[in-house]
Amino acid sequence: MTERTLSGTGVTPRAGVGTAVWYRPEAGLELPEPPAEGLDAAAERERFETARGEAREELERERDLTADRVGDEEAAVFDAHVQFLNDPQIESGVEEAVDDGLTAEHAVQRAFAGPIEQFEGMEGRMAERADDLRDVRDRLLRVLTGGERVNLAELPAGTVVLAERLTPSDTAQLDPERIAGFATVTGGRTSHAAIFARALALPAVVGVGDDLDSIEEGAAVVIDGDAGEVVVDPSDERREAAAADDAVEVRPNPVTTADGTTVEVAANVGRPAELGPAADRGADGIGLFRTEFLFLDRDAPPSEEEQYEAYAEALSTFPDGRVVVRTLDVGGDKPVPYLDLPESENPFLSERGIRRSLGPDAALFETQLRALLRAAGSEGGDGLAVMLPLVATIEEVEEAREVLESVAADLDEEGATYARPEFGVMIETPAATFMAPELASRVDFLSVGTNDLAQYVMAADRGDERVADLHDPLHPPVLRAIARTVEAADGEECWVGMCGEMAGDPDLTELLVGLGLDELSMSAVTVPDVKANVETTDREAAEALAARALAAGTKREVDQLLTDTA
């Protein structure tokens, strides 16, 4: 048969080939006809409450499983789903529908219809929020009807999943060892399905449109997440290329720009299971080792020894590279039950990160520093670096340094083997960018966390889809904050890195090199692409591009500039 190609939005720089299997979850949801009369409204409301409780328990279990397989940040979407379950608008909508004579099933369907339609009429990430509502609605309907859920984890090896859309619950089930890739009719690069695909390193193309429906069950399909193509009945050459995943060559060694400037390309890691894949993808080291996994989903904090072993494992995986460990960053969207974190109207502007480490979590901070200093003094530990999250003042840095020195003195008195690691801070707040010169003179490195920096510079909660368009690091104020940080380190013995999602976008590599960043850290799946782009970047041309971007007054101008130079 003749090869044909459908186009969509590629979300991972990987390709896979397999057999098409259509996923149609709605086929198993058959709602019973409501009785003509005699409906017990109180009983229907009780059925809804029971179903809501079961759905909440399911979500909590799936959140834990997703945190283990994908990561804590990605798993947070299930917390939002719990909020939808408790949404007063949804609850009142169900009650009104029941009072109008509908069963709990039909009431749920009607209550969700309006909000879903409202989100679908919006643009960008707001439109993708409709999928979250569908996920919660279908979960409730399945519980109410006793319907069975299709287990995507049990699909045959070599399956290419095709669907109208994939919800977070669907995507979290996909096993990269069995699934060759997936494609959807709807969706965009910022959808949860796309985010999960990148975290799982799954070949994926979203937003293909209705043409995807023309692919028959059992057809041979190539998913090219780099080119954004779905190839039906591919040629032998196309199959071989996809099977070998030859789109990007893994570069195990450090890379330089075309004119010889070294740029470190590292990986962000959220748990030990991600260390091996990061090394396999050619990461030079770990630019962000999130330590929250040690503290979450347990009844008591980890011991010093448990932490020491985790840091030692990371160092042994990258014996010739740098491992940047971020100290505990809780608060905000990362609750820890045994810490009894106080509720806040805006947790992102409250106690989190270094503020807790120097306050109510001081004992945990000291234990963590003990483990880190011991790891730095172990064999191969000279690559360890310690990074403080959410720094806003010079006082925080100086106080943290004093704690580190106090811990070192205690270890010295005990006769323990230890060493002082590199010491740096994350640049996530506008305050830190304004104080960057003073910070650069006091630390060994600065690392720009673009996710939070964009949130705070643009005053746009990154979890609020209503302001999602503002949460983009290409807005001129965010670019200028990054440039200010890099300039502050000029002339100091202080390197500057970036560990936000921006660093892992291959389309932005030239811009980031031009801004003068020494290190880029990202999800491991994009390391090969970024390394390849570093090697083809001419620094002089990159600096000219960065200068034009910094002179732009609007994000539209920046976008156009990047499009023109692509």
Active site residues: 192, 499
With a CB cutoff of 8 Å and minimum separation 6, the contacts of 147 are 28, 29, 30, 141
Compute the distance between CA of residue 301 and CA of residue 328 in angstroms, rounded to an integer: 11
Q: CA 391 to CA 425: how far, in whole Å?
A: 7
Distance, CA of 445 to CA of 488 (rounded, Å): 11
> CA nearest 484: which of 437, 450, 522, 551?
437
What burial class does residue 401 get, using C-beta atoms within 10 Å of its C-beta: 0-12 exposed, 13-18 middle, 19+ buried? middle
Structural contact between residues 130 and 82, judged by C-beta atoms closer than 8 angstroms: no
DSSP state of 470: G
As a whole number of angstroms, the distance between CA 19 and CA 161 comes to: 8
- Alpha carbon distance 291, 307 (integer Å): 9
Measured between alpha carbons, how far is 392 from 239 in angstroms, rounded to an integer?
52
β-partners of residue 222 are 17, 231
In 10 A of CB 91, how many CB atoms? 16
Tell me 362's DSSP state: H
Residues 148, 28: contact at Cβ < 8 Å? yes
Dihedrals φ, ψ of 426, to 5°? -85, 140
Instruction: For the beta carbon of residue 251, count every other beta carbon within 10 angstroms.
Output: 19
Closest-CA residue to 266 (of 185, 325, 312, 223)? 325
Phi, psi of 143 (to 5 degrees): -65, -45
N-terminal to C-terminal alpha carbon distance within the chain: 35
Q: Give CA–CA dist 298/412, Å, rounded.
A: 31
In order of 258, 260, 417, the CA distances from 544 in angstroms are: 15, 17, 48
Which amino acid, residue 542? A
Please answer whether residues 41 and 236 qualify as being in contact, where contact means their C-beta atoms are separated by less than 8 angstroms.
no
